[in-house]
Amino acid sequence: GWGQGGGKLPFRAIAPVERTADVVTVPSGYDWAPIIRWGDPLFKNAPDFSLTRQSAAAQAGQFGYNNDYLNILADRGNARSGVLVANHEYTNEEIMFDPAWYAENTDEARRIAMAAHGFTVVEVKRRKAGQKWEYIRGGKRNRRITATTPFAVDGPAAGSELLRTKADPRGRRILGTLNNCAGGTTPWGTIISGEENFNQYFEGTGSATDARYGIAAEPSERGWEKVDPRFSARNEGFENEANRFGWIVEIDPQDPTSTPVKHTALGRFKHEGANIRIAADGRVVAYSGDDERFDYVYKFISKKKYRPGNRPHNMTLLSEGDLYVARFTGDSPAAEVDGSGGLPEDGNFDGTGAWLPLVVDGVSKVAGMSVEEVLVYTRLAGDKVGATKMDRPEDVEPNPVTGKVYIALTNNTNRGVGSNAGPDEANPRSRNRDGHVIELTERRHDAASLTFGWSILLVAGDPAKSESAYFAGFPRDKVSPISCPDNLAFDSRGNLWISTDGQPGTIGYCDALHKVDLTGPQRGRVRQFLAVPAGAETCGPVIHDRDDSVFVAVQHPGEGGTFAEPLSLFPDYVPARGREKRGQAFAPRPSVVQVYRTDAGRRGRHGKGSA
Ligand code: FEO
Ligand code: CA
Ligand code: CA
Ligand code: CA
């Protein structure tokens, strides 16, 4: 069945996998293996993972929890070495810790959780191109960034009064990064990542701005304010600490001594991530979504231009520029967009749009808000200029082959409910459970244009059960069911790959990775490539089709279960009775997985992977 005329990564779509199945499922002719797992030691002096002997010191030298954004960067001129970069979005204390131990060691557990956030950079090697990567314990570029690592702040809001605290009276040095979700790799080889649901880590002030960001004036669930006073605005001098999160961060994975940066020029919101395209005139454009129901899609345009090969210069590009927010206008009568998801008479959910200015040439374009206020309270700026309220914008990713921009709107079950915004042509379903994907075409295909056209590529769902599921006109009975699109990626030919977050709760199947054709008669054809285990979300897809490999970050395997009754034992699949032996407890471990081609029919050492 490989046929298909020389394309790499040929596969037959797998069947969707029932949501309780604790297996990784890959197509026939492929196998999978973990490259690195939660707790694997990065440094020579870091201890081996032990579920029953965890400590914050150990975790700070080990791979963190809940890997999300991922990339594998091969070294220039050498296909056998490189670095793997992953971020660690959050922690699942209910699965990580024995409840009896947690009750006695709660503060240490909080410090472990803080050390399990952030980033890992780790060197990898392989015997030859196309084979499986292995991580190198003690690699020279290995690094952990955690909730306490110092970051520099740059851009127009650096030093602002809104960012100052008792511990940082200059407002230019922030400890840690939190809830890093998706991200991107810049053309100059750095990693950018979004601080997403940072609100949950803080006890807030009760102010209106805190409320707009979901920061509650009550103790946080994780209770970090009990071990570090900066996490509560009730502690004098730390009223602004939450303003220091919600940014795009940039790290240099080649230099473990470099100081990572928070870029205030890109605004503060629940950044899913950011992805870059170089405009016709050489300026760089960063697209970013704010993952909240009824929040916005943004883009940043740098002041300075990209200079190929000049890394120090290019690392300043995200420090200064203009910020815009998207308004989508449909071209069909509003009455034809009734919330059912049925297509309007012109046959498309489509229209035009504009990038509305927030900050241009260092000047605020928002009435009554200074530049610093626009950048720190960007959501309020978007409210004021009339940006379009979207169904939870996740990845916003330009196609490197065509320049078209794809926006994953993961879902919004509040659309059209009560006093919330009703359906519009860009968000056409009321109670949008399954989400959709917009294809945006910048005017003249120039990323720096301030107007665009758009159409909905996919209205997600299980076509066997959802009348509104729509696949760019491709026959509904010839696609894989898909729900809750989240992370986007492209292969070398510009095919779109979509990973999902939430399918178990909507269409009843384990989260998945799908390939979607974008051109020709197959446009809109969705084919499922893999499924992750029970409770897990598919993150960070990386498609190395020239290398016959796909990489995914398997996040929160077994979520929904408990330490005593895990839903998953991914990726090691130790028998349940092994858990009973003292000192040999096992839990699911978030891991980076490589999927690679095998000789047809061969089963790899991780036999469960070929189910
Ligand atoms: Fe962390 Fe928006 O997903
Ligand atoms: Ca995500
Ligand atoms: Ca239309
Ligand atoms: Ca998500």
What single DSSP character describes residue 383? Answer: H
What lines the ligand 1 site, CB under 6 Å?
89, 181, 196, 272, 291, 394, 486
Task: Report the predicted TM-score, pTM, of the whole model to 2 decimal places.
Answer: 0.96
Q: Which ligand is nearest to the CA of 66?
A: 1
At 20, list the tokens.
Answer: 């309780």
What does the alpha-carbon distance between residue 477 and residue 486 come to, in Å, rounded to a whole number?
Answer: 23
Question: Taking a C-beta distance cutoff of 8 angstroms, is the pair 322, 334 a contact?
Answer: no
Question: Taking a C-beta distance cutoff of 8 angstroms, is the pair 287, 301 a contact?
Answer: no
Question: Taking a C-beta distance cutoff of 8 angstroms, is the pair 214, 293 a contact?
Answer: no
Q: Which ligand is nearest to the CA of 331?
A: 3
What does the alpha-carbon distance between residue 377 and residue 422 come to, in Å, rounded to a whole number?
Answer: 25
What does the alpha-carbon distance between residue 475 and residue 234 come to, in Å, rounded to a whole number?
Answer: 57
Atom of ligand 1 nearest to the CA of 272: 2
Could you tell me if residue 204 is left (phi over 0), alpha (psi between -120 and 50 degrees) or otherwise beta?
beta
Q: Which ligand is nearest to the CA of 484?
A: 4
Rg of the chain over Cα atoms, rounded to whole angstroms, equals 23
Which residues line ion ligand 3, judged by CB < 5 Å? 331-332, 344, 346, 348, 350
Report strand pairing: 405-409 vs 393-398.
Answer: antiparallel
Q: Say which residues have a Cβ less than 8 Å from residue 176's Cβ, sequence separation at least 6.
A: 114, 117, 118, 146, 147, 148, 149, 151
80 burial type by CB count under 10 A (0-12 exposed, 13-18 middle, 19+ buried): middle
Percent of the chain with pLDDT over 90: 91
Atom of ligand 1 nearest to the CA of 197: 1
Atom of ligand 1 nearest to the CA of 289: 2
Calculate how far, in angstroms, residue 201's C-alpha sits from the geometric centre of ligand 3: 42
Atom of ligand 1 nearest to the CA of 410: 2
Q: Which ligand is nearest to the CA of 540?
A: 2
Calculate how far, in angstroms, residue 391's C-alpha sits from the geometric centre of ligand 3: 18
Q: Say which residues have a Cβ less than 8 Å from residue 119's Cβ, sequence separation at least 6.
A: 64, 85, 86, 87, 88, 143, 144, 145, 177, 180, 191, 193, 251, 260
Chain position carrying tokens 């016709």: 280
Calculate how far, in angstroms, residue 423's C-alpha sits from the geometric centre of ligand 3: 13
Q: Which ligand is nearest to the CA of 501?
A: 4
**ipTM given for this complex:** 0.96
Res 601: pLDDT: 38
Which residues line ion ligand 2, judged by CB < 5 Å? 181-182, 486
Res 1: pLDDT: 30
What does the alpha-carbon distance between residue 284 and residue 321 come to, in Å, rounded to a whole number?
Answer: 9
What does the alpha-carbon distance between residue 284 and residue 186 come to, in Å, rounded to a whole number?
Answer: 10
Atom of ligand 1 nearest to the CA of 89: 1
Sites in the chain below the pLDDT cut of 70: 1-7, 575-585, 599-611
HSE at residue 349, side-chain half, CA atoms within 13 A, is 30
Calculate how far, in angstroms, residue 273's C-alpha sits from the geometric centre of ligand 2: 8
**433 closest CA partner among 464, 393, 396, 391:** 391
Atom of ligand 1 nearest to the CA of 394: 2
At 509, list the tokens.
Answer: 């199947």
Atom of ligand 1 nearest to the CA of 196: 1
What does the alpha-carbon distance between residue 152 and residue 167 come to, in Å, rounded to a whole number?
Answer: 14
Please name the residue whose Cα sits nearest to atom 1 of ligand 1: 181
Res 2: pLDDT: 32
Res 128: pLDDT: 87
Res 573: pLDDT: 86
Calculate how far, in angstroms, residue 427's C-alpha sits from the geometric centre of ligand 3: 12
What does the alpha-carbon distance between residue 95 and residue 104 come to, in Å, rounded to a whole number?
Answer: 16
Calculate how far, in angstroms, residue 291's C-alpha sits from the geometric centre of ligand 2: 8
Calculate how far, in angstroms, residue 368's C-alpha sits from the geometric centre of ligand 2: 33
Calculate how far, in angstroms, residue 511's C-alpha sits from the geometric centre of ligand 4: 11
Query: Strands, DSSP E only, in 4-58?
Result: 30-37
At 525, list the tokens.
Answer: 């054809």
Calculate how far, in angstroms, residue 408's C-alpha sits from the geometric centre of ligand 1: 11
Query: Strands, DSSP E only, in 399-484?
Result: 405-409, 436-442, 451-459, 470-471
Calculate how far, in angstroms, residue 409's C-alpha sits from the geometric centre of ligand 1: 11
Runs of H (alpha helix) within 204-297: 208-212
3 state DSSP class of 520: helix
Q: What is the largest CA-CA distance in the chain?
A: 67
Q: Which ligand is nearest to the CA of 455?
A: 3
Atom of ligand 1 nearest to the CA of 291: 2
